[in-house]
Structure 1
Amino acid sequence: MTAAHRVDVIVIGGGIVGLATAWKIQQRRPGVSVAVLEKEPGVAQHQTGHNSGVIHSGIYYEPGSLKATLCKRGAQETKDFATAHGIPFRTTGKLLVATDETEHGRMLALHERALVNGLDVRLVDAAELRRAEPHIRGLGAIEVSTTGIIDYARVCETLAALVVAAGGEVVTGTTVTDVHEAATEVVVDTEAGIWRAERLVACAGLQADRIAAMAGIDVDVRIIPFRGEYYSLPPYRADLVARLIYPIPDPALPFLGVHLSPTIDGGITVGPNAVLGFSREDYRKGAVKVRDVLDYARYPGMWRVARANVRTGIHEMKNSLFKRGYLAECQKYCPELQLSDLLPREAGIRAQAVRRDGTLVHDFLLERTPRSIHVLNAPSPAATSALPIGQTLAEGLLP
């Protein structure tokens, strides 16, 4: 029988939240032994490595929410971390563009929320918008000067190296099969052996609800996968915009809309949209995993979400199937883009927690037990917020 590995703290999940948490635990309690368990062959293989690479400002989020407070802190901490460790980033700024009267009204409301959240924002009119970004059209925009871009996979690689340098372990290719919490320890079964620890943090992203269920936690959420499909612009379009260009979002939805994002490697991505996924972790278009579909098909909250968002769901699915519809979303604010400009790019999958009553969980969501903390909802801006999320989890685990 294989001997059990024993550490002080186990972190499940090698994405940016899990790695930031492991590092913050080491900083809070020097000498503590930490093991990060990741089922993939490397870190940052899912949400962390499949996003727009944006350092968000926190403009969208309910004042006083975890997202609002941790994102604002995280934006600066991310830049400071990158500077300290030689990770390239750029503070490009962002324009949220209103293209019709409905969006203009939402823009003004969003601007007021941003001021309440203490952000450095200002309104620009149509003429100033055109001077700032000659290829963009709109009735006006909110300028957010602090928004930036970075490669979050590289941030993860640096965090993993720091965890190891401080005496921790980052164990990849290790799938968790069960979790048992007793009075004095937490036992984690994996395909490669047993791990024992005094404390556990689960930052499992797309598998968060399943890991919580393994631990015997009766949580009122289910993870629903939403595919975010991206395109890349061709190299000759690399100077199309200098800033990130976002539409004004629908406040009833957790998705930000199709946007133009300069990337740290000099390209520009377009996207993402948001369509229901049929596999939690397979990024190929049309991929289906029966277990994942059955999981949400049997969940009453999924059907309540579907009924409440029929029109939006049909619209998103149509744009996924027909590139011309996707293009139309971009042409609202960048009319010169053509079908030939939208080049294939790998999709992302958002882990969206949904309650049994059909409520989408908008804020970060944590569940605590005597010896563990489970992160049950940490979609965007979790990458931006990862360092303060990790600090919060470290403080909650090791008071």
Structure 2
Amino acid sequence: MVGAACAFYAARSGLSVVVVDRGPVAGGTTGAGEGNLLVSDKEPGPELDLALLSTRLWRELAEEFPERIEYEPKGGLVVATTGHGLDALRTFATTQREAGVTCQDIEGADALHDLEPHLAPGLPGGVHYPQDAQVQPALAAAHLLRASGAELRLGEEVTAVLRGPDGAVRGVRTPRGDLLAPAVVNAAGTWGGQIAALAGTELPVLPRRGFVLVTEPLPRVVRRKVYAADYVADVASGSAALQTSAVVEGTAAGPVLIGASRERVGFDRSLSVEVLRRLARQAGELFPVLKGVRVMRTYHGFRPYLPDHLPAIGADARVPGLFQACGHEGAGVGLAPATGLFVANALTGGTAGPSGGLPVGAPTLAEAFRPERFGVGAGVV
């Protein structure tokens, strides 16, 4: 998705774009995602600012391509399971409001049930986030690539990043030959560290595995994306250990999606029955109606994790001509349009996209995502 957005905004700014991928469209992390566009799980700071920009850009894309990306502005609901948790959630929401997020405190179980009738009884309250939305990630990525007009080289792996005598990027090499270009954008997601290494630099991207359960088709028993407040802490955590927290959302097609888990186990693709049990149990505690529902399938993917939980976006000062656009962890779909717009502006040195360029404060925001903030030898603790 991030690569598709970079191609889309770069092409719209007048550049000639070639997209090279060793697999099919959305064959990696994008195809294993839920398509979440969230502000609710982000604390004030650069990532939230990027998410707010992306929220606006996704709305613009939905208006331009109605029904083609399955954009659903259904909103999110974060619920507390204890009074202490509710106090912490309200404090968090207050800081988000000050940063520009629209959210509303929900008082008591009755008010929660007005929003989500099938929630477990007795919950003390929560916070409603109307800006949260969802797209169908594979469809959205495919359509942005199509709309970009970029040349697609699918099933073609980059084996080298070409550099001139001065060290500047000159293009890439694949089994089909060399592609010459004055700029290369690394949007390889979880594998972004490998591409950076081919260019002679370092980006400490690591995979963080996550599972999703998919139920049988149901009536719309879950109207929004609903999760327990401890999910926010899991997102911000850098722990390599297994973490699970209930994240439940209905879809327009009927199945309910259940997550979320996080663990750093390398690229281990084996099925973890323990993770699936935890997710099913936690979802049933949040929505008792799901306890008797069949799970039809499960899938998993790898989030591209960087040690400070911020993506690397923009020109990499260590290698002239190399641009980074990876390390978004679990927020790549949501942050993709803003990332693409930042990269297009970096490539052209001007304004890009239908929105007329980046917002006030963009230089400061871009500073937070500098790829070279990870010096040689930087690692993950």
Offset of 1:395 from its aligned partner? Answer: 1.1
Following superposition, the deviation at residue 180 of structure 1 comes to 2.9
Partner Cα separation in structure 1 for residue 294 and residue 19 of structure 2: 41
Cα deviations by residue, 1:306-331 (Å, 9 ceiling, x for unpaired)? xxxxxxxxxxx7xx426443333223
Structure 1 residue 252, shift from structure 2 partner: 4.7
- What is the match of residue 391 of structure 1? 341
Write the letter of the residue equivalent to 1:350: R
| 2:80 and 2:229 in contact (8 A); partners too | yes
1: CA distance between counterparts of 2:343 and 2:72? 28
3-state SS of paired residue (1:44):
coil
Q: Is the counterpart of residue 157 in structure 1 residue 142 in structure 2?
A: yes
Provide the C-alpha distance between the structure 2 equivalents of 1:170 and 1:381, rounded to a whole number of angstroms: 24
| Aligned: 1:204 with 2:195 | no
Cα drift, residue 156 of structure 1: 1.3
Cα pair 2:43 2:92 within 8 Å, conserved: no
- Answer with 245-254 or 45-54: which moved more: 245-254
Per the alignment, do residues 335 and 102 of structure 1 end up closer, same or farther by CA in structure 2, a change over 3 Å counting? farther
CA gap of 1:323–1:51, structure 2 versus 1, over 3 A, is closer
Instruction: Give the partner amino acid of 1:209.
Output: G
* 1:158-197 equivalent positions in 2, closer than 5 A: 158-164=143-149, 168-182=150-164, 183=166, 185-197=169-181
CA contact (8 A) 1:323 1:339 kept: no
Contact 2:258–2:280 (8 Å) recurs in 1: no
Inter-partner Cα distance in structure 2 for 1:27 and 1:323: 42
TM-fit CA distance, 1:273 = 1.4
- Paired residues of 2:213 and 2:257 also in contact (CA < 8 A): yes
| Structure-1-length-normalised TM-score | 0.77
Match for 1:334: what amino acid? F
2:320 to 357, 370, 387: 370
Superposition pairs of residues 235-250 of structure 1, within 5 angstroms: 235=217, 237-249=218-230
1:11 aligned partner: none
Give 1:340 deviation, angstroms. Answer: 4.9
Among all aligned residue pairs of Structure 1 and Structure 2, give the percentage whose two residues are the same amino acid. Answer: 21
Structure 2 match to 1:214: 198
1:214, distance to aligned residue in structure 2 (A): 0.9
| Aligned positions, number | 332
Q: Secondary structure at the match of 1:128?
A: helix
Give, in whole Å, the separation in 1 of the partners of 2:208 and 2:169: 35
Of stretches 97-106 and 127-136 in structure 1, the one that deviates more from structure 2 is 97-106
Q: Assess, with a 3 A threshold, how the Cα gap between structure 1 residues 253 and 132 changes in structure 2: closer, same or farther.
A: closer
Deviations 1:292-313 (A, max 9, x none): xxxxxxxxxxxxxxxxxxxxxx
Task: Answer whether contact 2:37 2:133 (CA < 8 A) is retained.
Answer: yes
TM-score by length of 2: 0.80
For structure 1, the 5+ residue unaligned runs are: 1-15, 287-316, 354-359
> In 1, Cα distance between the equivalents of 2:83 and 2:103?
20
* Counterpart Cα distance in 1 of 2:49 and 2:119: 31
- Matched residue of 1:346: which SS? strand
Rounded Cα–Cα distance in structure 2 between residues aligned with 1:322 and 1:374: 32
2:184 is paired with a residue whose SS is: strand
Within a 5 Å distance, the mapping from 1:1-399 to structure 2 comes to 16-28=1-13, 30=14, 32-40=15-23, 42-56=24-38, 58-65=39-46, 67-86=47-66, 87=68, 88-126=70-108, 127-137=110-120, 138-164=123-149, 168-182=150-164, 183=166, 185-219=169-203, 221=204, 223-235=205-217, 237-249=218-230, 252-254=233-235, 257-279=245-267, 282=269, 285-286=270-271, 320-321=273-274, 323-338=276-291, 340-353=293-306, 360-366=307-313, 367-368=316-317, 369-399=319-349
The 1:191/1:238 distance shift into structure 2, 3 A limit, reads farther
1:289 maps to what in 2?
none
SS in 1 for 2:140: helix
